Amino acid sequence: GSHVDTVPAPGLYDGALGVLCGIECARAFAEAGYPGRHPLELIAFSDEEGSVTMGTWGSRALTAALLDSERHELSCEDSALRQTLAQSERLIRQLGMCVDPTPLEELAPTRAAAYLELHIEQGALLKGLGAPTGAVTGIVGVNRYLVTLRGVAGHAGTVPMRERRNDVVWRVARLVHSYWSYVESFGPDAVMNIGDIDIHPGSFNVIPDRAALSVEFRSLHVPILEELERRLLDVAGSLGGEVEVVGRDKPVSLAPEVREATLRAAAALDVACAEIPSWAGHDAMSFAPFMPTGMVFVRNTTGASHCEQEAADRDDIQAGLELLAASVMTLDAAQA
Ligand SMILES: [Zn+2]
């Protein structure tokens, strides 16, 4: 499976490529009369990007791995989540499809031999390695925080500079500078992003009294994520800031036996396939705790994702699709 939603102003491939390749795979098996030993199910997830709640909502709902806050929202009649679900149901019915009323908790997969997902790479690792396809080793851990700094509002002209040493924007600048250098010290093992800075009240002539920063960092290693959190609390604390944890997704290791199956299939097809990690989150994360899980990546020729510049070559897509089908067949033959 993969997902059918994406971000605003997206590229062509994120999510959709994996769903279409899954359909094509199932169609090819049916046409060829492939006698699979296991039943094959294709799933098109929704809300992988997390428009209403945290990301990978569809796959977490299916694996009963929703957060307590999301369960609470589901139980409240007028919550934004319930309204969005009702809206989706209406749309699904309008399209002539039906909605299965099975409660989410009862959908949880209990016995499956493996989960496989094809996705366009959302970075440029395969491009750099010159490989059209990839077998994913693991998926990055992501921590998100809201940092708030408070100060004293005032007139922009009448307060002398010597009285502004505690200015919130000056402290934001120090926090960003200091924390940025710290994250850089981990080299290729960590990345950070400050996706939003909200300054209140946001006017030329008013000294701001509050700043809120959305801080995210990622790493494949738990000790680094812990170290980065400790330092963020220290730096923000020393500047008088408050830190709220928005969410922590642990890094996920994908199953070596599924990766081996993909690498063996690639060798048999004579397709170059590199073992690489994923610095983006995927629905596969939701399945990894429950069953052997793997991912096949298709080279992104620009390395850009979540934007219109996202691109893939036809030949690479063909190679990825064949590798997905061959991986399924290899697993089908090997797994009990
Ligand atoms: Zn995606």
Tens digit of each residue's pLDDT (9 = 90 or more) over 107-152? 666 678 999 999 999 999 999 999 999 999 999 999 999 999 999 9
Residue 147 CA to ligand 1 centre (angstroms): 27
Whether the predicted pLDDT of 202 surpasses 90: yes
pLDDT for 54 equals 74
Residue 211 CA to ligand 1 centre (angstroms): 31
pLDDT for 110 equals 66
Average pLDDT over residues 157-166: 94
Residue 296 CA to ligand 1 centre (angstroms): 13
Average pLDDT over residues 32-43: 93
Q: Largest Cα–Cα distance of the chain, in whole Å?
A: 82
Confidence class for position 104, pLDDT limits 50, 70, 90: low
Residue 187 CA to ligand 1 centre (angstroms): 25
Q: What is the DSSP letter of 78?
A: T
| Count of C-beta atoms within a 10 Å radius of residue 58 | 20
CATH of domain 141-249: 3.30.70.360
Residue 162 CA to ligand 1 centre (angstroms): 50
Mean pLDDT of the chain: 93
Residue 14 CA to ligand 1 centre (angstroms): 5
pLDDT for 237 equals 97
- CA nearest 15: which of 53, 58, 52? 58
- CA nearest 323: which of 261, 276, 275? 261
pLDDT for 15 equals 95
Q: How far apart are CA 265 and CA 259, in angstroms?
A: 10
Residue 37 CA to ligand 1 centre (angstroms): 29
pLDDT for 147 equals 98
Residue 284 main-chain phi, psi, to 5 deg = -55, -30
Q: How far apart are CA 144 and CA 235, in angstroms?
A: 16
Average pLDDT over residues 260-272: 98
Residue 81 main-chain phi, psi, to 5 deg = -65, -45
Q: How far apart are CA 157 and CA 114, in angstroms?
A: 65
pLDDT for 336 equals 63
Instruction: Please report where in the chains the tokens 């299965």 appear, as a residue.
Output: 100
Residue 333 CA to ligand 1 centre (angstroms): 29
pLDDT for 73 equals 87
Buried b / exposed e over 124-160, threshold 16 CB at 10 Å, is ebbeeeebbbbbbbbbbbbbbbebbbbbeeeeeeeee
Q: Is the peptide bond before 292 cis (omega within 30 degrees of 0)?
A: no
Ligand 1 (ion): residues with CB under 5 Å are 14-15
- CA nearest 67: which of 292, 312, 286? 286
Assess contact for 298 and 312: CB atoms under 8 A: yes
- CA nearest 61: which of 106, 113, 5? 106
Residue 22 CA to ligand 1 centre (angstroms): 14
Instruction: Please report where in the chains the tokens 């994120």 appear, as a residue.
Output: 14
pLDDT for 254 equals 98
Residue 326 main-chain phi, psi, to 5 deg = -70, -35
Residue 110 CA to ligand 1 centre (angstroms): 25
* Superfamily of domain 2-63+108-140+254-334 in the CATH hierarchy: Zn peptidases (3.40.630.10)
pLDDT for 277 equals 97
DSSP 122-152: SSSHHHHHT-SEEEEEEE-EEEEEEEEEE--
Confidence class for position 274, pLDDT limits 50, 70, 90: very high
Residue 195 CA to ligand 1 centre (angstroms): 19
Q: What percent of the chain has pLDDT over 70?
A: 97
DSSP H stretches of helix in 64-210: 68-75, 80-94, 125-129, 168-184
Confidence class for position 65, pLDDT limits 50, 70, 90: confident
Q: How far apart are CA 75 and CA 72, in angstroms?
A: 5
| Count of C-beta atoms within a 10 Å radius of residue 72 | 12
- Looking at the DSSP assignment, which residues form a beta bridge with residue 298? 120, 133
Convert the pLDDT of each residue in 77-89 to its tens digit: 888 888 888 888 8
Assess contact for 290 and 283: CB atoms under 8 A: no
pLDDT for 247 equals 86
Whether the predicted pLDDT of 21 surpasses 80: yes
Q: How far apart are CA 88 and CA 62, in angstroms?
A: 16
Residue 95 CA to ligand 1 centre (angstroms): 24
Least confident residue range of 11-15, 48-52, 275-279: 48-52
Whether the predicted pLDDT of 76 surpasses 70: yes
Average pLDDT over residues 285-312: 96
Average pLDDT over residues 201-212: 97
The span from the first CA to the last CA of the chain, in angstroms, equals: 21
Q: What is the DSSP letter of 255?
A: P
pLDDT for 335 equals 66
Whether the predicted pLDDT of 324 surpasses 70: yes
Residue ranges covered by each domain of the chain: 2-63+108-140+254-334, 141-249
Assess contact for 209 and 217: CB atoms under 8 A: no
Strand-pair category, 252-253 with 154-155? unpaired
Q: How far apart are CA 5 and CA 51, in angstroms?
A: 9
